[in-house]
Structure 1
Amino acid sequence: MQTLKALLHFYSTITAKQILIGLVSLSIVAFFITQTAIADRKESLSWEPWLLEYSAVYCYGLVCPIIIFCCKKWSLDETHRYKSMLKVAILYIPFTFLFISLMIGTRHLAYLLIEGRLWDNGDLLTRYIYEYPKTIGFYCAIVFGAYTKVYFETYQKEQIHAAKLNEQLLTAQIAVLRNQLQPHFLFNTLNLISSTMYQDVDKADSIIMRLGNLLRYSLAAEQKPWVTFNEELQAMTSFLEIAQLRFGDRLSTKIEIEPQVESVLIPAMLLQPLLENAVKYGIEPSDDMGGVHLKAYSEDGMLCITIMNPLLEYENQQPSFGIGLQNTKERLELLYGDSANVSLVQQGNNSIILTLTLPMQ
């Protein structure tokens, strides 16, 4: 009973479009079969060959969903393959009996409506025996087509499921990399506020305001993983201003941005760990004056970002360059694949240049 309900439900899911395509396909097949039947019989054209062949094709099409339903239900995976093949082979007997019965009944009804008599089908048992082997080819073709369709549908679902899992994994990986902000900067900023608030309240207030802007931007990045370069730059300006308040005259900053790259989308918080590395390894270890130079421009359809800072402890950091740069490289690889590039080169004896190359989007 459950199987019958499931079968009826399967029939109810057939759309009008599928019915129309099926009717057109069956009509074309029936047309060619009828032409062959007329040619073989050497008879003058009449309505009988058309009725006989079209009734057979349409009746077969009407019960074909049973085969498709069973093929979907009987899996051909390794654990059920032989059992399912046996079921499909056995199904041929009742399925063909149902088809022949439906075809004979349809022909009787048609003859009653047209000529007022039943169709002369001869001996009923002989008719069944005659019709059974004729349908083996059609049955095998439908089974093959049904399992092919099931295979591709299953394959497509698996691909979609795998793509969703990869997307979730990618999102999680990117979130982890983006959220691994070094506490070094935050601790130093809090210490700076603590040491400044009793000596220079205005300066401490300025640091707190800029830190608040940066943290607010970092939290917003959770909901907005892509930002324009201009939005990123505004947040990073707060970062550099905090660093300038911390190091005073020891740090100078220079920012050069081409107007056409301001609206380019980049991953949020992309520049923070790189600028932090520039300050941490290029300014903090030395008492000498140093500068951080940020530049962004377009070249051959790519967004190029360079960060230049003094060469101090970077000699001891290669080739890892610290966790900030390593996370950035992994982020860009996940987001852009081979389309993005990160390089770190020494310029003379006094400076080092980090270059990011991203597709403009």
Structure 2
Amino acid sequence: MLDKKLFRFIVLFYILACLFALIIALFQKISGVSFKTFSWIGLIMNYLFNYGTKFIFIIASIIFTRVYIMNKFSLPISIIIHTLISVLLSLYSSILLLGYEKYILGYTDVIDIKVILSRLAYSSNFNFFVYFTLITILYAYYYFQKQKDQEIKESNLKAQLLDSKIKVLQSQLQPHFLFNALNDISSLMDIDIEKSQDAIADLSEMLRKTLSIKDVKYITLKEELSILNKYLGIEKLRFGDKLNFDIDTTNSLLSEKIPPLILQPIVENSIKHGFSYTHDTITIGIKIFIHHDEIVFEITNNGLQLQQEKIVFGNGISNVLERIDTLYQGNYSFDIRNNGDSGVINIIKIPRISEENA
């Protein structure tokens, strides 16, 4: 009915409030202001009975509030209801305490409406304060819990949408790559059937690898380079000595987690746009290193340079950038520009992924 953590807090708060009231009563007895007819034990027992019975009423009221009042009435109506309950609390405790004094302690005072109202007026301030404080704690606790639950739901929904978006983008990327690879092999068949057969074998292996990663957000750099090498093998069969490539990285980076298939589309773009009538032989350079806790990918070619300032990306690179943006929430950078007087350079920078987030 009530959260255990909340219940423990309510009990602790109530005990502290009761101890505070008891200390004041003891001080009043010592100073001779009040409780002259009570013995020390009698005064303590009186307070234990008084606040023990109040606590039963308050807990019942809190449970009643949680079940029948909270989230079902407007704020003004709720305040009116709780004000009435606090009055009932004072009436309840006054009657019980008068009965305790008469039938347990043996007091001979007459219990009538005037005495009850007098006790009611005397105890109302403290009862009102304690009751409304505990009710406020109740409302605040479940309000913030509701906010927290809502944040968790939104976070889970966001994660689900993120996963769905990534899967859609990856599914778009694989057919795009497949169509381009088949076109390359088709062109190669007019030149060399044997090489075409080797290219089909490499493509088959590539497809096996890419299909095995379709449901993951990250793979190791080693897996990414394995796929890239298969692709470069296909392109090498097609272009022969006119295409060269160099991959520069260290073994210590091979276990780094990166989004799958981010290098192949950029390398493909470098090959596609690097060749020209004046550039019939090109070298693709792929350098991967760590800088300021970021993984940096530099893909260069010494082919045709960019002919316009504003670059329009094709499906492959657009897909890569959209996936990276989705995964890293904009915390990445991508730059493509002419590399001095020779060729083009692409630079991607992404944050390193810790093991628990991979």
TM bin (shorter chain):
0.7 to 0.9
Q: CA deviation at 1:354?
A: 0.5
CA distance in 1, matches of 2:95, 2:39: 22
Name the aligned partner's letter for residue 85 of structure 1. P
CA contact (8 A) 1:55 1:107 kept: no
Q: Structure 1, residues 318-344: CA drift from partner, whole Å, max 9, x if none? A: 333333333333332332245422111
Aligned match for 1:67, one of 29, 37, 62: 62
Partner residue of 1:319 out of 307, 311, 322: 311
User: Which position in structure 2 is the counterpart of 1:90?
Assistant: 81
Q: Distance in 2 between matches of 1:165 and 1:154?
A: 16
Deviations 1:149-195 (A, max 9, x none): 23212221222222222222222333333333275542343345456
Q: Secondary structure at the match of 2:337?
A: strand
Q: Is the 2:273–2:304 contact (alpha carbons within 8 Å) kept by the matching residues of 1?
A: yes
Q: Deviation per CA, 1:85-141, whole angstroms, max 9, x where unpaired?
A: 3244234435653675467558857997xxx65676751534542226342222322
Show the 5 A alignment for 1:1-16: 10=1, 13=2, 15=4
Call closer, same or farther: CA 1:128–1:314 in 2, change over 3 Å: farther
Match of 1:52 among 36, 46, 52: 46
User: TM-score under structure 1 normalisation?
Assistant: 0.79
Give the corresponding residue for 2:212.
220
Amino acid at match of 1:27: I
Return the alpha-carbon distance in structure 1 between the equivalents of residues 26 and 275 of structure 2: 95
Kindly state the Cα deviation for residue 34 of structure 1 after the two structures are TM-superposed.
0.9
Structure 1 unaligned segments of length 5 or more: list them: 1-9
Question: Which residue of structure 2 lines up, in the alignment, with residue 137 of structure 1?
Answer: 129
Deviates more, 1:119-128 or 1:59-68: 119-128
Residue aligning to 2:356 = none
Q: Whole-Å Cα distance in 1 between the matches of residues 310 and 97 of structure 2?
A: 84
Alignment of 1:102-251 (within 5 A): 105=96, 122-126=110-114, 128-129=116-117, 130-131=119-120, 133-134=124-125, 135-181=127-173, 183=175, 185-193=177-185, 202-251=194-243
Distance 1:285 1:56 in 2: 99
User: More displaced, 255-264 or 168-177?
Assistant: 168-177
Separation in 1 of the partners of 2:109 and 2:343?
Answer: 99
Q: Rate the CA distance shift 1:273–1:285 in 2: closer, same or farther, 3 A.
A: farther
- The 1:111/1:245 distance shift into structure 2, 3 A limit, reads farther
Deviation per residue, 1:259-307 (Å, 9 max, x gap): 2211111111221221221122223787711121111112233221110
Whole-angstrom CA distance in 1 between matches of 2:25 and 2:239: 97
Match of 1:3 in 2: none
Q: Specify the alignment match of 1:278 in structure 2.
A: 270
Give the alignment partner of residue 38 of structure 1, picking from 9, 26, 38. 26
The code of the aligned residue for 2:120 comes to: E
CA pair 191-99 structure 1, distance change in 2 beyond 3 A? same
Which amino acid letter does the alignment assign opposite residue 240 of structure 1? L
Alpha-carbon shift at residue 54 of structure 1 (Å): 2.7
Whether the 8 Å CA contact 2:22–2:44 is kept in 1: the answer is yes
Residue deviations 1:31-53, cap 9 Å, x none? 22012122234247612222222
Q: Are 2:17 and 2:130, in contact at CA under 8 Å, matched by a contact in 1?
A: no
Contact 2:265/2:316 (8 A) holds in 1: yes
Task: Measure, in 1, the Cα distance between the counterparts of 2:135 and 2:10.
Answer: 16
Answer with 128-137 or 344-353: which moved more: 128-137
Structure 2 residue 304 is matched with structure 1 residue 309? no
Q: Number of residue pairs matched?
A: 342
Report the counterpart of residue 355 of structure 1 in structure 2. 347
Q: TM-score, normalised by structure 2?
A: 0.80
Q: Does the Cα contact within 8 Å between 2:185 and 2:196 map onto a contact in 1?
A: yes
Equivalence for 2:324? 332
Whether the aligned pair in 2 keeps the contact of 1:251 and 1:283 (CA below 8 Å) is no
CA distance in 2, matches of 1:337, 1:174: 12
**Cα distance, 1:184–1:339 mapped onto 2, change above 3 Å:** closer
Residue 307 of structure 2 aligns to a residue whose secondary structure is helix
Relative to structure 1, is the Cα distance of residues 343 and 315 closer, same or farther in structure 2, using a 3 angstrom cutoff? Answer: same
Alignment match, 2:17:
29
> Where does the alignment leave 5 or more consecutive residues of structure 2 unmatched?
354-358
Q: Deviation string for 1:213-269 (max 9, x for gaps)? A: 222222222332211111110111111111112223332111111222111111112
1:254 aligns with 2:242: no
Q: Distance in 2 between matches of 1:217 and 1:68?
A: 59
Q: Percent same amino acid at aligned positions?
A: 24
Q: Aligned partner of 1:64: which letter?
A: I
